[in-house]
Amino acid sequence: MFLRMLVRAAVLRRGRAAAALLAMVVAAAVATAMLNLYVDVQAKLRHEFRKYGANVVVVARDGQSLPANALATVEAALGSGGGIAVPFAYAVARTSDGRSVVVAGTDFAQVQKLDSTWWSVTGWPKSAHEALIGARAASVVGGAGNAFDLSFQGRAIRLNPVGTLRTGAAEDSRIYVSLADFTAWTQVPYSTVEISAAGSPQEITAIIQRLGQALPAAEVRAVRQVTEGQANVLGKMRATLLVAAILIILTAAVCVLSTLTGWVSDRRRDFALMKALGASGRMLQSFFAAEAAALGAIGSSLGFMIGVGAAIWIGRANFHAPVSPRLSVLPLVLLGGIVIALIAAIVPISLLRRVQPATILRGE
């Protein structure tokens, strides 16, 4: 009987029930999308900030060199967290007309991953004896296309420039070759490992500590310029999003509240009729409460699905990576929906309880 009343009430007043349900669904969807974004935006923005390049640097101490397995040690310490480690070796070579120029050896495939956005490169070296020329170094060795000679401690190498590099910083005055070419030519091992470690500031500090213990001969330091800037902006963004989420959820709640209040007070004749037929106050209250709770539960679970969809779409459209749906948000949204629906039902019912059924039925 109770169930039948619930179902019939919804079926007979399809229009009003649908309006209330729609308000609930939209509010729950907006709330879900905001909460999902709030939880996920940190990770998304952190991903953007990793484009600034290395946030941790491992360098050999004065007069020492890094152990031969330093790169493998670093990669082991980074674990599966998705960090990038790039070795760099440096030497000062002389051009054929006797001018000094810094030559660096590195792993081009890894550099492309580490500094993708700000190394403006016209062509990456692919095979042996190909070189990447810094924009300012190009004046010393001649333009692209002409092979040139360099010498280091009496050993000569002939390099073929395949592209120019422009960063606006020290890299512009250097010539980059592959690490294999570099060590075969100079016999100088790599002295620096630049690392882009993923994760929160605490996780990065932990990685620095791990690296320090694994490589006692080297100096491991955070690139403060990068880490501090990131922490600063992320903190502000998180606070802004929190305020926005609270405001939007509040507005959505008001929308649901006013729709449901209208829905319930619209049915005061049902209420009066039931009371006239002998239903107790408690019975009526539980009937309306059950109705509201069912509406809240159905509306917010539908809204949750739509909201997750919206969050995924926003992630794709804005960050070009999907926002992963957070199931932890579901109980929050569900509970919030039911509580708001109950509040919306209780206020008009308690107002109506004081009124005589006869007055309502007479239409006053």
Partner 1 sequence: MFLRLLYESFRRQKRRKLLAGVAIMLGVGVATAMIAVATDIGDKISRELRTYGANLIVTPQEDTLDVEIGGVNLKPPSDGAYLNEADLPRIKGMFWRNNIVGFAPMLPVSVNLGDGKNMTLLGTYFSHHVIFGQQDFVTGVRSTHPWWKVQGAWPDDNSRDVLLGAHLAAKLDRTPGQEIEIAGEPRRIAGILSTGGPEDDQIVAPLALAQQILGKPGAVRRIYVSAVTKPEDAFARRDPKSLSPEMYDRWYCSPYAQSIAFQLQEAIPHSHAEQIRQVAQNEGTVLSRIQGLMLLITLAALLASALAVSASMATAVIERRGEVGLMKALGAGNLAVAVLFFAEAALLALLAGAAGFAGGALLAREIGRSIFASQITVQPVLLPVILTIAVLVTFIGSAAAIRRAVKFDPVYALRGDV
- Residue numbers 230-289 binding partner 1 by CB under 8 A: 232-233, 236-237, 239-241, 243-244, 247-248, 250-252, 254-256, 258-259, 261-262, 265-266, 269
Number of residues forming the site for partner 1 (CB under 8 A):
80
- CA neighbor of 154 nearest in space, from 90, 94, 103, 91: 94
Q: Does residue 18 interact with partner 1 by CB under 8 A?
A: no
Question: Given the complex with partner 1, which of 126 and 236 has the nearer CB atom?
Answer: 236
Longest dimension (CA), the chain: 111
Angstrom CA distances, 350 to 81, 279, 344, stand at: 56, 15, 11
Q: Do 163 and 123 contact (CB within 8 A), yes or no?
A: yes
Q: Does residue 338 interact with partner 1 by CB under 8 A?
A: no
Question: Given the complex with partner 1, which of 76 and 267 has the nearer CB atom?
Answer: 267
Of residues 68 through 127, those in contact with partner 1 by CB under 8 A are 90, 92, 99-102, 115, 117-120
One of 21, 28, 41, 78 touching partner 1 (CB under 8 A): 41
Of residues 296 through 325, those in contact with partner 1 by CB under 8 A are 314, 317-319
Question: Given the complex with partner 1, which of 147 and 170 has the nearer CB atom?
Answer: 170
The least CB distance from residue 102 to partner 1, in Å, is 6
Q: Does residue 213 interact with partner 1 by CB under 8 A?
A: no
Angstrom CA distances, 8 to 5, 11, 14, 17, 363, stand at: 5, 5, 10, 11, 23
Helices (H), 220-280: 224-266, 268-276
Structure tokens at 74: 């670093």
Question: Given the complex with partner 1, which of 237 and 335 has the nearer CB atom?
Answer: 237
65-73, 124-132, 163-171, 199-207 -> range binding partner 1 (CB under 8 A):
163-171
Question: Given the complex with partner 1, which of 110 and 261 has the nearer CB atom?
Answer: 261
Q: Does residue 158 interact with partner 1 by CB under 8 A?
A: no
Question: Given the complex with partner 1, which of 95 and 160 has the nearer CB atom?
Answer: 95
Q: Do 161 and 141 contact (CB within 8 A), yes or no?
A: yes
The least CB distance from residue 172 to partner 1, in Å, is 8
**Rounded to whole angstroms, how far apart are CA atoms 8 and 278?**
19
> What is the three-class DSSP state of 87?
strand
Structure tokens at 203: 């996780």
Question: Given the complex with partner 1, which of 192 and 300 has the nearer CB atom?
Answer: 192
197-205, 209-217, 289-297, 355-363 -> range binding partner 1 (CB under 8 A):
355-363
Question: Given the complex with partner 1, which of 113 and 126 has the nearer CB atom?
Answer: 113
Beta strands in the chain (DSSP E): 56-60, 84-95, 100-106, 120-121, 130-134, 148-152, 155-166, 174-178, 192-196, 218-222
Q: Does residue 140 interact with partner 1 by CB under 8 A?
A: yes
Q: Do 178 and 108 contact (CB within 8 A), yes or no?
A: yes
Residues 6+ apart with CB under 8 A from 34: 241, 244, 245, 248, 249
Q: Does residue 48 interact with partner 1 by CB under 8 A?
A: yes
> What is the three-class DSSP state of 187?
coil
One of 10, 36, 53, 164 touching partner 1 (CB under 8 A): 53
